[in-house]
Amino acid sequence: MTVRLGTRASTLAMTQSGTVARMLTASSGLEVELVPLTTHGDVATGSLASLGGTGVFATALREALLAGECDLIVHSLKDLPNAAYPGLTLIAVPEREGQRDALCSRGGVTLAELPAGARVGTG
């Protein structure tokens, strides 16, 4: 049996999903096929705020899962909207690969020193 794992098509998402696919294969013996999906957030050119912010990367993944285009999806938990999504359940959170995230700021401002309402970009 082959499990179809839906993921964003970005290099980072494919790498993270490949790790999950290998973990699934090792623990279950099942073959896992990555199904790259393009989301609204991947193709839109506006700022994240102008696109509606929450869910612009996750919606296409969720819809593909509900439509049966894949059997499960992987998405970065930090980018997943907090609200539950009807018909779907968060079933697993793998151990973190590494803690190499970093805050780069002007003037050496630390995370604790950021003012209320500060805008932080990711990339």
Q: Where are the domains positioned within the chain?
A: 2-113
One of 42, 71, 79, 101 is an active-site residue; which one? 79
In single-letter form, the type of residue at position 95 comes to: E
Instruction: Look at residue 64 in the predicted model and tell me its pLDDT.
Output: 94
Local structure of residue 60 (DSSP, 8 states):
H
- Of 2.40.50.320, 3.40.190.10, 3.30.460.80, 3.30.420.40, the CATH number of 2-113 is 3.40.190.10
Instruction: Look at residue 89 in the predicted model and tell me its pLDDT.
Output: 92
Give catalytic status of residue 71 as yes or no.
Answer: no
Give tens-digit pLDDT for 2-31: 999 999 999 989 999 999 999 999 999 999
Instruction: Look at residue 33 in the predicted model and tell me its pLDDT.
Output: 98
> At residue 94, what are phi and psi to the nearest 5 degrees?
-70, 160
Give tens-digit pLDDT for 67-81: 999 999 998 887 788
Cα 87 from Cα 51, distance rounded (Å): 24
> At residue 37, what are phi and psi to the nearest 5 degrees?
-125, 140
Distance (Å) of CA 66 to CA 18, 88, 100:
21, 8, 33
Give tens-digit pLDDT for 28-64: 999 999 999 987 666 666 665 655 666 677 888 999 9
